[in-house]
Chain A
Amino acid sequence: MSHKVVIPIGPYHPLQEEPEFFRLYVEGEKVVDINMVIGYMHRGIEKLSESKHFDQVAFLVERICGICSTSHPFAYVNAVEDLARIEVPGRALYIRTIIAELERLHSHLLWLGLAGHFIGYNTVWMWAWRYREPVLDMFEMITGNRQHYAMMKIGGVRRDIEEQHIPALKKTLDELVRAVDMFKGAVMDDPVIHARLKGIGILSRQQAIDWAVVGPTARASGVNIDVRKDDPYGAYDKIDWSVIVEREGDIFAKTKVRILEMYESISIIRQCIDKMPGGQIDANVKDIPPGEGIGRVEAPRGECYHYVRSDGTNRPIRHKVRAPSYMNVASNKVAAVGGTISDATITLAAVDPCYCCTERVTVIDKSTDHKILNGWDLIKLSQEKTENLKKSLKV
């Protein structure tokens, strides 16, 4: 069509994880099609993994993603332990669970902040990131680093959670509950957020199944999947918690799922602290026998899957990784199409992918070649919509 305008979004931007490149095809305000190009993040990790020995790979896969930097090594060690039939000490399982849940907390807070930024609530951004800092402090206290915790090790964990860490951890969790309460109130009661997020970017239950989405994106569409329940790993089967499922499938439901999941995470960590047994934290694995294994982990964004094959040497001969966003970003094809450009920013961000890419973006009207907006304008467009809504709702 001659009047179809192409809006390229990406590939760079400072806000999200993976540089990805979206092409939005629009007619007027309406998004009629969307195309995605990925590969800007490709660093050949699967191949590099074949050149490292089993212990080193854990550090390598940690650097697949800075936000899921426990999920990938966790899935990898699960795969190797499945391969070599390693019995992991109970204490290590609990420590792994605590770290994984702390990661979910920081990741969901991070997403909440970014989502707030996209719809013009910079205060939400700043507050969410302010309350994310104590979680990072906990990581620093337990693991020695704010990001890239390097806790996962084949057969156990690298560092113990010591007795003196526990009071600070508990105190942080108590403070976090109050912060999450505040966010919950802010999101659930705000008429502008309702108007902005309800009924936008809907992914129906059937579409969610057809596009094989995972994690909070699927759970917001009424699909009850969670690896932590379906195929328990770590200490999740010894702990009482529930999977949060919403039915609507719109962005509001996705936000709600993430906020309510934070409560579950806090509860899981508290139970882990109470139930954690003493003893060894490492099974002292020496050799990896030939064979193959899979490891699955519920990362903050969904199921993270690792496959490892060994031929009996000290290196994997094949290592396959499937990250959750790979499934989720494709669902934008149905979620964003039919919406408006100003909703596209938040819709694409709602699966918590690795989008944003809105920096260094240009909007070019191909038919006339004179209308040029940059990516910043896309966020502006989204923020203006919220302003107008606020005015019309008189808040």
Chain B
Amino acid sequence: MNLKLKALTKSLWVFHAACSPCNNCDIEILDVLTPRYDVERFGIVLVGSIRHADVLLVTGVPNYKTKERLKKIYSQAPQPCLVVAVGGCACGRVMFKDSYNSPCAVDEIVPVSAYIPGCPPKPEAIIAGVVKLIKKVRG
């Protein structure tokens, strides 16, 4: 297995890009970090810059303004970079797919490694999603 990927799964540093979400997924992501769920125990932390990150967390339906920025963020990420789409919007645009300001889904802009559906996914679901992702990367 790729050494870089193996090292990656030890402690995931996460950068969170909110692409016009309603913030619910964003709050639940923060919830995962706060005392009840506390994934910081496992070395999973939010970082302030994509250049420090192993994982790009995307929420929401990209609009024309955020689409370009998401592309830019991904291009700045050190590779390998895993992309996780959190929430129904990021997974498949759900009720916003007919909107005039929703050009495409997240996975048409960046390659998505894991989808966590739900509106919003519960913190348990987010943790389960990350665990599955790590298992898959480890093979």
Is A48's CB under 8 angstroms from B99's CB? yes
A14-B29, A43-B102, A59-B95 as given contacts; A126 in contact with B50, CB under 8 Å = no
A297, chain B: closest CB distance, angstroms: 17
Residue in chain B with minimal CB distance to A38: B65
What separation, in Å, do the CA atoms of A176 and B22 have in the docked complex? 27
The answer for the CA separation of A58 and B17 in the assembled complex, in Å, is 27
Interface size class of A (residues with CB under 8 A): 35 or more
* CA distance in complex: A127, B34 (Å): 8
Known: A12-B17, A12-B69. A133 touches B27 (CB 8 A): no
B11 on the A face (CB < 8 A): no
Output the nearest chain A residue to B101 by Cβ-Cβ distance: A44
Q: Is A36 an interface residue (CB 8 A)?
A: no
Closest Cβ neighbor of A131 among chain B residues: B35
Q: How far is the CB of B96 from chain A (nearest CB, A)?
A: 5
Residues of A within 8 A of B50 (CB): 360
Interface string of B13-42 (1 = CB under 8 A from A): 001111011111111111100111000000
Asked whether A126 lies within 8 Å of B24 as measured between CB atoms, the reply is no
Cα-based distance from A245 to B63 in the complex (angstroms): 39
Chain B residues, Cβ within 8 Å of A43? 20, 61, 63, 96, 99, 101-102
A12-B73, A42-B63, A130-B35 given; name 16 further pairs at CB < 8 Å. A12-B69, A13-B18, A17-B22, A19-B20, A39-B65, A43-B101, A44-B102, A48-B96, A64-B22, A66-B24, A126-B34, A147-B27, A147-B28, A359-B15, A359-B48, A375-B48
Is A15 an interface residue when CB atoms closer than 8 A count as contact? yes
A60 partner, pick from B35, B95, B100, beta carbons under 8 A: B95
Q: Digitize A124-148: 1 where CB-to-B-CB distance is under 8 Å, 0 elsewhere.
A: 0111011001001000000000111
Q: Are A129 and B34 in contact (CB under 8 A)?
A: yes
Could you tell me the distance in whole angstroms from the C-beta of A187 to the nearest C-beta in chain B? 19
| Cα of A43 to Cα of B100 in the assembled complex, Å | 8
Residues in chain B near residue A154, CB distance under 8 A: none
Q: Which residues 321-379 in A have Cβ within 8 Å of B in the complex?
A: 354, 358-360, 374-376
User: Which one, B18, B30, B48, B99, contacts A129 given CB within 8 A?
Assistant: B30
Contact A14 B26 (CB under 8 A): yes
Among residues 65 to 121 in chain B, which have CB atoms less than 8 Å away from a CB atom of chain A? 65-66, 69, 73, 95-96, 98-102, 119-120
How many A-B residue contacts, CB cutoff 8 Å? Answer: 122
Partner pick for A147 among B24, B30, B36, B49, CB 8 A cutoff: B24
Mark each residue of chain B from 38 to 66: 1 if its CB lies under 8 Å from any CB of chain A, else 0.
Answer: 00000000101110000000000101011
Could you tell me the distance in whole angstroms from the C-beta of A50 to the nearest C-beta in chain B? 11
Is B23 a contact partner of A17 (Cβ separation < 8 A)?
A: yes
Min CB distance B80 to A, Å, is 20
A-B contacts, 8 of them at CB < 8 A, read: A11-B66, A12-B73, A14-B29, A63-B119, A127-B35, A129-B35, A146-B120, A359-B16
Question: Known interface pairs A14-B29, A47-B99, A374-B48. Does A130 touch B24 (Cβ–Cβ under 8 Å)?
Answer: no
Nearest chain B CB to A154 CB, angstrom units: 18
- Contacts A65-B23, A375-B48 given; does A19 touch B18 at CB 8 Å: yes
Complex-state Cα separation, A375 to B49, whole angstroms: 9
CB distance from A130 to the nearest CB of B (A): 4
Query: Is A51 an interface position by the 8 A CB rule?
Result: yes
Smallest Cβ-Cβ distance to A150: which chain B residue = B119
Nearest CB of chain B from residue A123's CB, rounded to whole Å:
11
Given A42-B65, A48-B96, A375-B48: A148 in contact with B101 (beta carbons within 8 A): no
Whole-angstrom distance between the alpha carbons of A129 and B122 in the complex?
Answer: 15
Question: Within the complex, which residue of A13, A48, A67, A359 is in contact with B27, where a contact is CB–CB below 8 Å?
Answer: A67
Minimum C-beta distance from B24 to chain A (A): 3
Known: A63-B22, A64-B22, A359-B16. A146 touches B63 (CB 8 A): no
